[in-house]
């Protein structure tokens, strides 16, 4: 075997090993490098998760409920939605949806006020305030949700001071919470009650997932719809999404 052929084979073998090994090493190294840079430059910031983004060299960083993008040196940062224009997929919204669902699951359904139909096909979680007009409009369509087998879970975000907060606590402390909420949403004064309640946890959760006003509807996918949506339209959209997923 000639010296040229021997060197060529050694080179090809080394090159093939580099092709297999290098990408994995680079990915891990980039995330690790960014972690170290953030620990050094921003030690007071609690990072929940760092992962690769679809763009090489750009990493998705989750801080609380916020999603940002950084290079591995932590020198450059992008704050905004990362959208794949070829597929219309919003990678940032996907990440935020996962954050919302995780936070809601951590609160737990036992700490929500729930309206449950006889048969459940869909579930929505609604951040609500007893007094807000569009929250009341949404609540007035509860029969429509029940008829269409949609479970409605309420998280409270009282926005109008101590009186609003106290009324919300009174609803939670009532023997029949659903009936008490029906009355309060209709403008009827209910009995003032006090007990241990998760309302402060509701407020913290609403802030954590970025709710800025009520109502806010969180879909089963984690997508958040700010504002009121007619029940018929929402049910139609959920059925459409379900049909697409089951094809």
Domains and CATH numbers, the chain: 3-80 (3.10.450), 103-245 (3.40.30.10)
pLDDT at 241: 79
**161 vs 201, higher pLDDT:** 201
Chain segment 116-126, per-residue pLDDT in tens: 999 999 999 99
> Which one has a higher pLDDT value, 18 or 78?
78
pLDDT > 70: percent of the chain: 88
Q: How far is it, in rounded angstroms, from Cα 226 to Cα 214?
A: 7
pLDDT value of position 28:
58
Give the pLDDT score at 160. Answer: 86
What mean pLDDT do residues 9-13 have?
A: 42
Neighbours of 134 (CB within 10 A): 15
pLDDT bucket at 228, cuts 50 / 70 / 90: very high
Cα 60 to Cα 51: distance, rounded to the nearest angstrom: 5
| C-beta separation of 79 from 68 below 8 A | yes
Cis amide linkage into residue 215, ω under 30° from 0: yes
What is the mean pLDDT of the segment spanning 83-103?
92
Pairwise pLDDT comparison (44 vs 181), residue with the higher score: 181
Question: 67: burial class by Cβ within 10 Å (0-12, 13-18, 19+)?
Answer: buried
SS3 assignment, position 98: helix
Of these ranges, 60-74, 167-181, 230-244, the one predicted with the greatest mean pLDDT is 167-181
Digit-coded pLDDT (tens) for 137-172: 999 999 999 999 999 999 999 988 899 999 999 999
* Window from 4-13, 128-137, 217-226 with minimum mean pLDDT: 4-13
| Residue 215 pLDDT | 97
């Amino acid at each position: 075997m000639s010296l040229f052929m021997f060197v060529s084979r050694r080179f090809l073998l080394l090159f093939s090993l580099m092709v297999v090994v290098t990408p994995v090493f680079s990915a891990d190294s980039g995330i690790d490098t960014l972690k170290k840079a953030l620990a050094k430059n921003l030690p007071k910031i609690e990072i929940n998760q760092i992962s690769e983004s679809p763009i090489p060299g750009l990493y998705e960083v989750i801080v609380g409920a916020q999603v940002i993008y950084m290079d591995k040196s932590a020198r450059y940062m992008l704050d905004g939605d990362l959208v794949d224009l070829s597929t219309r997929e919003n990678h940032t919204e996907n990440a935020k949806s996962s954050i919302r669902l995780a936070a809601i699951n951590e609160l737990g359904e036992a700490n929500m006020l729930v309206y449950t139909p006889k048969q459940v096909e869909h579930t929505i979680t609604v951040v609500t305030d007893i007094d807000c007009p569009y929250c009341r409009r949404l609540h007035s369509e509860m029969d429509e949700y029940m008829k269409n087998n949609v479970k409605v879970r309420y998280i409270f975000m009282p926005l109008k001071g101590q009186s609003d907060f106290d009324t919300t606590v009174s609803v939670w402390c009532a023997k029949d919470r659903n009936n008490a909420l029906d009355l309060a949403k209709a403008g009827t004064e209910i009995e003032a009650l006090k007990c241990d309640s998760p309302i402060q946890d509701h407020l913290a959760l609403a802030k954590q997932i970025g709710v800025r006003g009520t109502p806010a509807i969180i879909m089963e996918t984690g997508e958040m719809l700010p504002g009121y949506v007619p029940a018929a339209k929402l049910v139609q959209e959920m059925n459409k999404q379900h049909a697409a997923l089951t094809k």
